[in-house]
Every structure is written in C-alpha cells, then in structure tokens.
Amino acid sequence: MATLRIGAVGDLHYGRESRDVLKQVFQAVDRERPEVMLLLGDLTDYGTLEEAQGLTRELRTNLAVPTLAVLGNHDFEGGAADAIRATLREGGITVLDGDSCEVKGVGFAGVKGFCGGFGRGALGPWGEDVIKGFVNEAVQEALKLESALARLRTPARIVLLHYAPIVDTVVGEPPEIFPWMGSSRLEEPLGRLGVTAIFHGHAHKGQAEGRTASGTPVYNVSLPLMARLTPECPIRVLEVDTEAPSDQNLKR
C-alpha cells in the first residue's frame, strides 16, 4: 500500500521576530518527517516583500521536502501579493491560487478563499453594489477551487485554504467575527467532487477539527492554535493512502 505523509501548518506571520517560532515548526518537521509540507496562508505578517524574502530563505534552508502554499489575507495587506507569490515560487515553493498539482500520486488543489459567513448567516448578493462585489469575491474563490479540483484525476485529493469552509473549526473565536473567518460557499464544491481532507488556517482561536456536511474532515492548522494544543508538535501530520477512494484513504 502506497501512502503519502503530509505535514500542514498555517499563519506563520513571518516578521522580524519570527525565527524562534519557525524553529519549533522546523524541529517538528525534522521529527515527524512529512514527505510534503502545506502552508495555509498568512505566511507574512504585514504582506511586505521583505518578509516574503526572509521567509523564503528560511524555508529553503530548513525544508527539504516539496512545499505547497496558499496566501492569506495578511499577505495582501502590503499590496505586494503578486511579488510575494513570485518570491516564494522562485524559492521552490508551489503557490496554489486556483491551481492543482500532484505529489507522489496525491492531488492538491488550493485557493485563498474568502469570508462572508456560514449557512443561513452567509451574506447574500443583494442591495448595494459594494455588497454584491464582496459576495462575488467569495463566489469567485469557490469557482476557482471547483475548477482546480475538477482537473485532478487522483483517488486522493487534498484541499488547501486559508479561510474556513465550515463554521465548526471557527468556534472559539468571538461569534461577532465568524463572518470574517470564512465562507460556506467554499464548501459547496467539496462534496460534489470527492475530497479526502481540507486544511485551512486563519482561525487562531478556533477548533482543530470539523467535518463538512458530506463528512469530509476539515483541519484548522493555524500555528497559534496548534502551538497551544500540541506545543511539542505544532504541525498537523496525516498519512494518506494514495490508491484508496477519497473517502477511505486517511490513515492518521
């Protein structure tokens, strides 16, 4: 049976004081020996090119496995998202933005996602143009995700997001900010297209695990949350059977 060992963490918020935090992550990677690492957005703190360059140097030096990433809202703060994406890619990081790829027989699809709320509380495209534009951003991110997943032909398919696709992994944050933590529109393509697991960040005070309406596991791997729950290993590690159907291939 062929398996792929996946490590995942989000919200590195790389800045001038980040080396000690990253050291804990790299030590966990060395111990757990994932075959691929996933970085779930907010890679930088203020979205500057300088931060991205520093993070890229750290990743290139300390991660000797294929590394996939999506950007987060912090990575857009400085208006340099395109330069950040390019810097990471030049450093050997695969940045997904409506894209898909395969690593050792497992398919990966990723987008940043967006906010807007969940279920009956989700904001609808009604009223002022600015509201319609806001909702359309979430819709477009969901469409990008659907397109990326549709291109995959692997039995196992893993989704990378920054924003949460379900409310369960957001619980623990102040209820007033739930709408800014994610969007249930991101969940809509997942059940239809058959997904093995979903990883996201963003919800620093949320829950570590949840499930979509169709039963797919969702993992919140925000570093502040992981460091609080499992300080000895602030990354999530899963083994995936590369040959089993998508709903049967999680090993851990």
Residues 76-92 have a mean pLDDT of: 97
Nearest Cα residue to 30 out of 66, 61, 62:
62
User: Each residue of 148-172: pLDDT tens digit?
Assistant: 999 999 999 999 999 999 999 999 9
Confidence class for position 191, pLDDT limits 50, 70, 90? confident
Sort strands 94-95 and 67-70 into parallel, antiparallel or unpaired: parallel
pLDDT for the residue numbered 243: 80
Which domains, ranges and CATH numbers included, belong to the chain?
3-241 (3.60.21.10)
Residue 117 backbone class (left: φ over 0; alpha: ψ -120 to 50; beta: rest): left
Interior angle at CA 188, CA 166 and CA 82, nearest 5: 80
pLDDT for the residue numbered 245: 64
Mean of the per-residue pLDDT values for the chain?
94
Predicted TM-score of the model (pTM): 0.94
Distance between CA atoms of 189 and 113, rounded to whole angstroms? 12
pLDDT for the residue numbered 248: 53
In a 10 Å sphere around its CB, with 0-12 CB exposed, 13-18 middle and 19+ buried, how is residue 102 labelled? middle
Distance between CA atoms of 72 and 214, rounded to whole angstroms? 26
Residues 207-225 have a mean pLDDT of: 97
